[in-house]
Amino acid sequence: MPVQLTYPGVYIEEVPSSVRTIAGVATSIGAFVGWARQGPTGRAVRCLSFSDFERAFGGLDTASYLGYAVAHFFGNGGAQCYIVRLAAAADDGDAAIIAAVSATAAIKGLAVKATGPGLWANVYAIKTTPNGDLFRLEVVADKTIPGVMVAGQIFETFFNVSLDPLNTRYVGAVLAEGSSIIEIDPDNFDATKPVDASTKALTGGLDGTVLTPEKAAFNDALIAPGTGYLALAKVDQFNLLNVPGYTGKTTLEALQAFCRERRAMLLVDPEVGDGTALDPIETAPDLGGADAINSAFYYPWLLAPDPQQQNRIRAFPPCGAVAGAYARTDATRGVWKAPAGTDASLSGVLGPAVTMNDAENGILNPLGVNVIRKFPVYGTVVWGARTLRGNDELGSEWKYVPVRRTALFIEESLFRGLKWVVFEPNDEPLWASIRLNVGSFMNDLFRQGAFQGSTPRDAYFVKCDKDTTTQSDINKGVVNIVVGFAPLKPAEFVVIKLQQLAGQLAT
């Protein structure tokens, strides 16, 4: 702030700089939507490892592809993802659907329920021990399960909690902050009935109908207001959306639009049980609309051992493993490198469920189908990098996955890094500051090899001046920034030309 000059001497004043560093955003945060037997519903849960997924959602389950896709994601280089658990609801509109129910327990005025619906919580009990106006609350094992738990084993303990909502140790707030098993059941809670020393089992939990991709209810649950993928609307950022094994056209179109709004990519799986190599021509979802630039289709399913079935070989949807390859490529080469080729090998799998040759691959690639192939030496690799607008007949500028993802990365980074511009005086000093900061960001990307061109002038441009922002725009409170870049496009076809030279004849 300005220094008031009141006495003779030397004054020091710190002058603010016009430099505001724009940081690049994350590019490979996964998001998975699917059915699980346990865990919270109606919100997205962040997992930083497969162990996090096991603790929150119970790990692998043969009834759902969700856990396997998450395991493949982390096994192939993924570092962070969000999980949205689907569970059947009573209002799904199908009489054949059995709703999932949360287990409950009550000790006088204390009423609790499991943090998520399902049978999983029926093995626990709550135990209370009064201490004056307060009490100790414990979550204990209700029964013995060999190798898992022993009856009476303590899993969670909360000291000196109260039924009084005005108390700083109110049990509802304490459980919301510290328990992964139980929460307050507001419908039956009664603060006027103090607890006594007692133990009560949680009962009534039901898994409900398993929402597999083949069930119509999966679609209803996915798009119901406030549930399914809409829980991701509250997540700050995600980049790679996966719905393992799901191929419903209507919902996938909604997911494409959602991804375009959130500047993310949707990885689309083929239908279950594609039997021949050319099936994708007929069975790939018809998702070639305008929002298809934010999605990519991978074929076929992957063969991998199933730890839940004595490592017998099963087919799994490819989205999780491919998302992991995206994350690994971003970390090692950058978002502008196509997540395909010999470096995009898939770990933890035996190979594709359908073996493709060059001729078959040559039929599918021009249609925008990204084939997963197995080669000697290199193993199972992603062998395509096109979006669902990658059909040669469309001639889309967003034909390639790395080009689209680079644009999304720049858009999101500038969107977040230029919020300081709002309400600043809209004149040349602001425009110069914008050019300085955006230009610095783009130059950093150029130096990392993100663009074509041997000089910054050839690689990108940033315009923000009286030509982009007219007086009419200023009067409306608008500042226009134009950023252009020359994207790197993958070398999809490598052509080697050989010529035989005729020997010189002596004359």
User: What does the pLDDT look like over 232-273, one tens digit per residue?
Assistant: 999 999 999 999 988 888 888 889 999 999 999 999 998 876
pLDDT for residue 222 is more than 80: no
Three-state SS for 355?
Answer: coil
- Angstrom CA distances, 222 to 33, 94, 254, stand at 8, 14, 10
Q: What percentage of the chain reaches a pLDDT higher than 90?
A: 73
Whether the Cβ atoms of residue 321 and residue 302 lie closer than 8 Å to each other: yes
The structure's pTM equals: 0.92
Tokens 């209370």 belong to residue: 128
List domains and CATH numbers for the chain: 1-22+424-507 (no CATH), 30-89+210-402 (3.40.50.11780), 104-201 (2.60.40)
Cβ atoms within 10 Å of 355's Cβ, excluding its own: 11
Q: How far apart are CA 357 and CA 54, in angstroms?
A: 38
Whether the Cβ atoms of residue 299 and residue 315 lie closer than 8 Å to each other: no
Burial, 160: exposed, middle or buried (Cβ in 10 Å; 0-12, 13-18, 19+)? middle
User: What does the pLDDT look like over 177-201, one tens digit per residue?
Assistant: 999 999 999 999 999 999 999 999 9
Question: Which residues have CB under 8 Å from 437's CB, separation 6+?
Answer: 18, 19, 20, 21, 22, 417, 418
Tokens 């960001």 belong to residue: 441
- Angstrom CA distances, 358 to 74, 246, 366, 392, 475, stand at 30, 28, 13, 18, 59
Q: How far apart are CA 504 and CA 176, in angstroms?
A: 87
The residue among 242, 302, 300, 294 whose CA lies nearest residue 270 is 300
User: What does the pLDDT look like over 397-430, one tens digit per residue?
Assistant: 999 999 999 999 999 999 999 999 999 999 999 9
Reported residue count of the chain is 507
Mean pLDDT of the chain: 90
Q: What pLDDT score was predicted for residue 135?
A: 96
Three-state SS for 321?
Answer: helix
For every residue of 348-385, DSSP letters joined together read S--EESS---HHHHHHHGGGTEEEEEEETTTEEEEE--
Q: How far apart are CA 208 and CA 90, in angstroms?
A: 9
